[in-house]
Chain A
Amino acid sequence: GENVEQHPSTLSVQEGDSAVIKCTYSDSASNYFPWYKQELGKGPQLIIDIRSNVGEKKDQRIAVTLNKTAKHFSLHITETQPEDSAVYFCAASIRGSGNTPLVFGKGTRLSVIA
């Protein structure tokens, strides 16, 4: 089945710097890759997603890139702010068609130091 690896597990950056989180997936049939932000005591919140027919997507300070050949995708957060501190999860759809469940990475705890 699908396996998603996420790195790093923890990341500390100074306010205003950029943060990059990387994920790899194993199943070449996967075609949908969302990123979630989870704050303490809350459920995961979708922040951006990308489909396999697109190489890059941007939404204000957040961008995601996808390399289908290498089977990896990355989250980029620019001009980080203290409120960006949270646990971030990447995920990949399994089976690659229809409304399929997600396989999640183990998460990255991002700390933005003011």
Chain B
Amino acid sequence: EAGVAQSPRYKIIEKRQSVAFWCNPISGHATLYWYQQILGQGPKLLIQFQNNGVVDDSQLPKDRFSAERLKGVDSTLKIQPAKLEDSAVYLCASSLGQGGINQPQHFGDGTRLSIL
């Protein structure tokens, strides 16, 4: 089966500019996650969707970050305006989202964002 697709792979912008990332999860996966991975650290959750509804966005800096999953499939993550500390890899993951137990999360290869 096709994996989680993300684009672009790399993005370089100047601080205070805006940027958007796109994710296409594995077909049939109801749950979608966006994680931020700063160099040398493990991924950290930004937001979780179940179908097109937000389940957890408690760690999303809402003054500058936004995300949507309008039709319950693809998702976009936006940063506006970007700060230097936003330099990181942005990872999208998806899981089946069925039943009451955790299903394995499968990750895309991420978008590497550099802020100048």
Contacts and interface: CB of A to CB of B under 8 A. Distances in A.
Interface of A: 4, 6, 31-32, 34, 36, 41-46, 49, 51, 89, 91, 93, 97-107
Contacts of B4: 43
Contacts of A46: 104-106
A38 B44 CA distance: 15
A45 B107 contact: yes
B103 A99 contact: yes
A65 B93 CA distance: 25
Nearest to A97: B100
B56 A34 contact: no
Interface of B: 4, 31, 33, 40-45, 48, 50, 56, 91, 93, 95-97, 100-110
Contacts of B41: 106-107
Nearest to B108: A43
A106 B41 CA distance: 5
A44 B91 contact: yes
A34 B42 CA distance: 13
Given A99-B50, A105-B42, A34 B104 contact: yes
A91 B108 contact: no
Contacts of A42: 109
B100 A98 contact: yes
Contacts of B56: 101
A36 B108 CA distance: 13
Nearest to A41: B109
A44 B93 CA distance: 9
B36 to A, nearest CB: 11
Contacts of B44: 104
Nearest to A49: B104
A91 B101 CA distance: 16
A43 B91 contact: yes
